[in-house]
Amino acid sequence: MCTYETEHVAISGSGKGPSGWFPLSSATVYFDHPVHAPAEHTVNVDFLNPDRGPSARVAVELDPVSALALARALLAAVGTAEAFSGAAVR
């Protein structure tokens, strides 16, 4: 079942593509049929820098269980960062 629900998020980070590292400025997250992953549906995440053209993209396709595990791991890592730095990450 495709939801066609797409989330766009402004981000700040770096991604590594065929030509090396490049700055990232946005991420798109959606649930759809994968292009490559061996699953009927996946949570797809595209990390992008639109100002650098179509080659400045890192694409990830995760089965829903893996996507949820990654989300939990990200939340745990951010919680650790907050505890370590003493400052709230917003």
- The whole-angstrom separation of Cα 74 and Cα 89 is 12
- Going by pLDDT thresholds of 50, 70 and 90, the confidence category of residue 65 is very high
Given a cut of 80, whether residue 7 has pLDDT beyond it is yes
Does residue 36 fall inside a structural domain? yes
CA distances for 53 relative to 9, 22, 24, 49, angstroms: 18, 11, 12, 7
Write down the pLDDT at residue 88.
Answer: 67
- Going by pLDDT thresholds of 50, 70 and 90, the confidence category of residue 5 is confident
Does residue 72 fall inside a structural domain? yes
Does residue 46 fall inside a structural domain? yes
Does residue 1 fall inside a structural domain? no
Given a cut of 80, whether residue 77 has pLDDT beyond it is yes
Write down the pLDDT at residue 20.
Answer: 93
Sign, Cα dihedral of 10, 15, 19, 22: positive
- Number of domain units in the chain: 1
pLDDT digit string, tens, across residues 19-55: 899 999 999 999 999 999 999 999 999 999 999 999 9
Does residue 13 fall inside a structural domain? yes
Domain that holds residue 41: 6-85
Does residue 14 fall inside a structural domain? yes
Does residue 90 fall inside a structural domain? no
Tell me if 84 sits within 8 A of 68, measured CB to CB: no
